[in-house]
Amino acid sequence: MIQPFIYQALPTRVIFGRGKQQAVKAGAERLGLKRPLVITGKQQSALGKALAAQNGWPHWDGAKMHTPVDVTDTALAVFKSEGADGVIALGGGSAIGLGKAIALRTDCAQLCLPTTFAGSEMTNILGETAAGTKTTKRDAKIQPETVIYDPDLVGTLPPLMAATSGMNAIAHAVEGLYAVDGNPIIALMAEEGIVALAAALPAGDTEKALYGAWLCGTVLGSVSMALHHKLCHVLGGTFNLPHSETHTVVLPQATAYNASAAPDAMLRIARALNAKSAAAGLFDLAKNLNAPTSLKELGMPEDGLDKAADMAVAAPYPNPKPLERAALRQLLQNAYDGRRPAE
């Protein structure tokens, strides 16, 4: 039986392929941009500087994780003083987040060149941090107009970062398969995204991994996320845990929590992983990639688990399995200890 559904395709133009970073000038022109500001973090500074110099564009390299509002204010001042008319975000979720923050405030066009698998470039979501609190909003102005996926740009990711960033992408697909507003097209993309990443990450195949990341990012931008993303938001925002590593550790445990309430999604995830069970399969994939599997190794204080459980149940949101504090506290303990979920 086909459940009734709503499907809305994202307006972002996607260009995929090795060497396609060369299409950035034509892409900017297509958007009518004459003087876009190239945005990077410090690590991608040299790359951004070269791209900007080649085209006579300005460059700013101050992007930071979790999009702090004071960083955005500084970048916005540079944007204005340089007479910029758009942004070219080159980097992971942090550089892309800053580009989105500028676009939200100026309604300028954005072209993204992702260098990780996080998926932010395919969404109209922006998380911003002010006074230690991270808040998330959705707005059409936040959705990037053009994305150029060039596998050469992710080739420099250190193996551990590639592994955790890839698990971060898989998390979008997992939650997309049981999303309250899910639909058959997005489910196809989610399953294919997991298939691609599960094969590509152990093999170091950046092209296939980036293809999977695009699919998973599209899922994130199209349907609502649930418990897993909520937990990671709480752990990242309140305990300052690293983004992709936290996703990697929590994903198998959140999947185990929801398993009995989302049997069809679990079947599809397990099938995509070629594993007996979705949750254990995700744990094994992380382990095989030598990625972290416990919150303890990420520096989470054990006495913070109670607070995290309280925060996770504070504001209700749709999730396949009802949110029960005691069960969530156990989930967090399992994540802290790095326990392999039962098959």
Q: Where does this chain bind ligand NAD (CB under 6 A)?
A: 41, 43-44, 65-66, 91-95, 97, 115-116, 118-120, 123, 125-127, 153-154, 156-157, 161, 165, 220, 243-244
From the list 16, 6, 28, the residue with the least C-alpha distance to 215 is: 16
Least Å distance, CB 108 to ligand NAD, is 18
Tell me how far apart the alpha carbons of residues 155 and 145 are, in angstroms, rounded to a whole number.
24
From the list 63, 67, 57, the residue with the least C-alpha distance to 27 is: 57
Tell me how far apart the alpha carbons of residues 269 and 85 are, in angstroms, rounded to a whole number.
42
Longest CA–CA separation in the chain, Å: 58
Looking at beta carbons only, is 116 or 319 nearer to ligand NAD?
A: 116
Looking at beta carbons only, is 40 or 277 nearer to ligand NAD?
A: 40
Least Å distance, CB 316 to ligand NAD, is 22
Burial bucket for residue 15 (CB in 10 Å: 0-12, 13-18, 19+): middle
Looking at beta carbons only, is 124 or 255 nearer to ligand NAD?
A: 124
Least Å distance, CB 125 to ligand NAD, is 4
Looking at beta carbons only, is 108 or 153 nearer to ligand NAD?
A: 153
Residues 21, 150 contacting (CB under 8 angstroms): yes
Structure tokens given for 328: 């969530």
Looking at beta carbons only, is 235 or 270 nearer to ligand NAD?
A: 235
Looking at beta carbons only, is 270 or 300 nearer to ligand NAD?
A: 300
Least Å distance, CB 182 to ligand NAD, is 17
* Pairing status of strand 146-149 against strand 109-114: parallel
Looking at beta carbons only, is 100 or 268 nearer to ligand NAD?
A: 100
Structure tokens given for 40: 């990077």
From the list 289, 280, 216, 284, the residue with the least C-alpha distance to 253 is: 280
Report the residue number whose CB is nearest to ligand NAD. 93
